[in-house]
């Protein structure tokens, strides 16, 4: 989960930097007298910053959502593998109890996270 939080913060920081760059660009265009649709709008720098922050938040939420979906799919695959491993041990137990016990012990040593 820490990885997801770090990724979320990185996207927000990138978009915040983009917002500040757009703000600086709008101020520079106003300072040098360049007229564009953005620089003619009232509070153009604040509008650019707000748009960048909104886009950044949307990107970060999408990234966070996709990471959660990916994590859920990995947990499902791990659960299926655990079920298959337990079924294999149970199938082996009547034919070779010693091998089943060894496999069971090894299965228990696998870290679950």
The whole-number pLDDT of residue 40 equals 59
For the chain, give every domain's residue range. 2-109
pLDDT in tens, 22-67: 777 767 766 666 665 555 556 666 666 677 777 767 777 777 777 7
The whole-number pLDDT of residue 57 equals 72
Binned at pLDDT 50, 70 and 90, residue 10 comes out as confident
78 in helix, strand or coil? Answer: helix
Q: What angle do CA 88, 82, 98 make, to 5 degrees?
A: 40
What is the pTM for the complete model shown? Answer: 0.46
How many C-beta neighbours within 10 Å does residue 48 have?
Answer: 23
The whole-number pLDDT of residue 68 equals 76
As a whole number of angstroms, the distance between CA 61 and CA 73 comes to 18
The whole-number pLDDT of residue 48 equals 67
Q: What angle do CA 69, 65, 60 make, to 5 degrees?
A: 150
pLDDT in tens, 65-84: 777 777 788 888 888 888 98
């Amino acid at each position: 989960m820490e990885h997801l939080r770090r990724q979320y913060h990185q996207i927000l920081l990138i978009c915040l930097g983009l917002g500040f760059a757009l703000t600086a660009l709008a101020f520079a265009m106003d300072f040098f007298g360049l007229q564009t649709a953005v620089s003619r709008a009232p509070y153009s720098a604040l509008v650019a910053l707000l748009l960048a922050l909104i886009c950044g938040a949307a990107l970060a939420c999408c990234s966070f959502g996709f990471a959660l979906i990916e994590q859920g799919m990995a947990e499902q695959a791990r659960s299926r593998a655990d079920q298959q491993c337990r079924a294999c041990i149970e199938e082996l137990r009547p034919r070779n109890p010693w091998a089943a016990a060894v496999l069971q012990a090894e299965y228990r040593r696998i870290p679950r996270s």
